[in-house]
Amino acid sequence: MILEKDVVVVGAGPAGLAAAIEAAKAGAAVLLVDLNLKAGGQLFKQIHKFFGSRAHYSGTRGYDIGKKLVKEATESQVEIWLQSTAVGVFPGNKVSIERILQNGGKKLYTVHGKTIILATGASENVVRFKGWTRPGVMGAGAAQTMVNVDHVKPGQKIVMLGSGNVGLIVSYQLMQAGCDVVALVEAAPKIGGYAVHAAKIRRAGVPIFTKHTIVEALGDAEGKVSGAVIAEVDEKFQPIPGTEQTIPCDTITLAAGLKPVVELTRLMNCASAFEPVLGGFIPMHNQDMETSVQGIFVAGDATGVEEASVALEEGRIAGVAAAQALGLLSQEDAESQKQFYWNRVNSLRSGPFGEKRLAAKQDVLQCYQEQIHTPQPEVMIGGLASGAD
């Protein structure tokens, strides 16, 4: 049996929740699916107060934003399926969903969505060095999940690799949980993230090694991490022999950036663009967050890695646009709502930290305008979807 929905949203992080809420508020029957045990995506592990404008929850801790969104979604009659993985999308806007049932069994559902919003988020990049597969080497996001969601420390002495906002914030949060961050290692000559985040961990005594990298994870008798060998790097980021030093630790966390999760948009043959600033290949989209394929919308990190506050606003735009496509909102209402959220997105992309992302996104919008112009009905896999990578 095929279930019928106006909107199927894949991913219940900030973008997916916001999209589901907007579409449901306009009167759409919305199904929101997520593979995790809980809705909210990364918001529940973000225990710091958000930056941004007061209008978009700044000064509020991530988990409180998560709680508000989940409540709003429930009140707006969004149907939420958890432990439910979208394993495929097929021509005719059908989504295959593998759902874990109460009794631990699995059931495969096929849901037809008149529109589909893909808010699948991003995954962490890995960095390879000798010993990188040892137990104790993990993603910074994984360590953040352990301390902030499960309240278990991944280890006691941590070496963090990467000084972007994730590396800085997770270092701080590991200390808040009672771990010691014994070194933060960054290959670039400068700290990547916000200086205020760096300042917090410097005040707590964390040494920051810029122009350094990890060359090896040492192991104990069982093979678990027992130390990190770090070394200075040259201008080409190659380790300089003779500069190695060993830092005893039981955990190495990797914060080397994120990349958009795009398997589902690829399955739909959505045209994509390569934007390194946004994390790599991303589905192209227009001002409605609609991809090259009619009725398939995207939002959040899946369409370029930015901050949760941006994902939220993009989600709202996608939700409004999907409702408009379904005829649930007048053009006038929809346009004014979208413009309101676009203004917020643009203000979040202002300033020296946002301008590169703003330029990359404008590039995506412009390429879409030139190469695709209007969304086309989907083409079978192997077909001639113009602009597809």
Partner 1 sequence: MALIDTGYLTYRELMEKQKLPTEERFLQGPVAVVECVQEIPCNPCEAACPFGAIHVGEPITNLPVLSAEKCKGCGACVAKCPGMAIFVIDKSYSQTKGSVSFPYEYYPLPEVGSTVTVVNRQGEAVGNGKVLRVQNPVSFDHTPVVTVEVDLKLINEVRSMERRHS
Partner 2 sequence: MSLRVKNHIVLDVKDERKTVTITVDGKPVQAKEGEPILSSLLAAGIKINRYTRRFHEPRGLFCAIGQCTDCVMVVNGKPNVRTCVTPVQEGMVVETQDGLEQKGGHK
* Site for partner 1, rule CB under 8 A: 48-54, 58-61, 175-176, 178, 189-191, 194-206, 208, 210, 347-354
Three-class DSSP category at 277: helix
Under rule CB under 8 A, residue 266 binds partner 2: no
Under rule CB under 8 A, residue 125 binds partner 2: no
CB 343 within 8 A of CB 184: no
Applying the rule CB under 8 A, the residues between 51 and 110 that interact with partner 2 are 61, 83
213 vs 162: CA distance, rounded Å: 9
Q: Closer to partner 1 at the Cβ: 53 or 238?
A: 53
Applying the rule CB under 8 A, the residues between 307 and 366 that interact with partner 2 are none
Q: Which of 54, 128, 151, 236 binds partner 2 (CB under 8 A)?
A: 151
- Give residues with Cβ within 8 angstroms of 48, minimum separation 6: 61, 62, 169, 172, 173
Out of partner 2, partner 1, none, which partner does residue 280 contact, by CB within 5 to 8 A per kind?
none
State phi, psi for 368 to the nearest 5 degrees. -60, -45
Q: Closer to partner 2 at the Cβ: 251 or 286?
A: 251
Tell which residue, 381, 360, 380, 384, has the closest CA to residue 284.
Answer: 360
103 vs 9: CA distance, rounded Å: 25
* Pairing status of strand 272-275 against strand 258-260: unpaired
Q: Locate 4 and state its tokens.
A: 């019928």
Q: Closer to partner 1 at the Cβ: 25 or 157?
A: 157
Out of partner 2, partner 1, none, which partner does residue 52 contact, by CB within 5 to 8 A per kind?
partner 1
State which amino acid sits at residue 363.
D
Under rule CB under 8 A, residue 207 binds partner 2: no
Under rule CB under 8 A, residue 35 binds partner 2: yes
Distances (CA, A) of 313 to 206, 320, 328, 345: 34, 11, 20, 6
Strand order in the sheet with 157-161: 137-139, 251-254, 157-161, 180-186, 208-210
Q: Closer to partner 1 at the Cβ: 191 or 270?
A: 191
Tell which residue, 142, 205, 151, 153, has the closest CA to residue 179.
Answer: 153
Under rule CB under 8 A, residue 133 binds partner 2: yes
**Min CB(142)–partner 2 separation in Å:** 4
Residue with tokens 């985040």: 197
Under rule CB under 8 A, residue 153 binds partner 2: yes
Kindly report the three-state secondary structure assignment for every residue of 60-81: CEHHHHHHHHHHHHHHCCCEEE
Looking at residue 156, what DSSP letter applies?
S
The size of the chain, in residues, is 389
Q: Which of 53, 77, 110, 176 binds partner 2 (CB under 8 A)?
A: 176
Under rule CB under 8 A, residue 280 binds partner 2: no
Q: Which of 52, 113, 136, 192 binds partner 2 (CB under 8 A)?
A: 136
Q: Closer to partner 1 at the Cβ: 5 or 316?
A: 316
Out of partner 1, partner 2, none, which partner does residue 35 contact, by CB within 5 to 8 A per kind?
partner 2
Out of partner 1, partner 2, none, which partner does residue 154 contact, by CB within 5 to 8 A per kind?
partner 2
Judged by the rule CB under 8 A, the positions of this chain that interact with partner 2 are 35-37, 47, 61, 83, 123-124, 133-139, 141-143, 145-148, 150-156, 176-178, 222-224
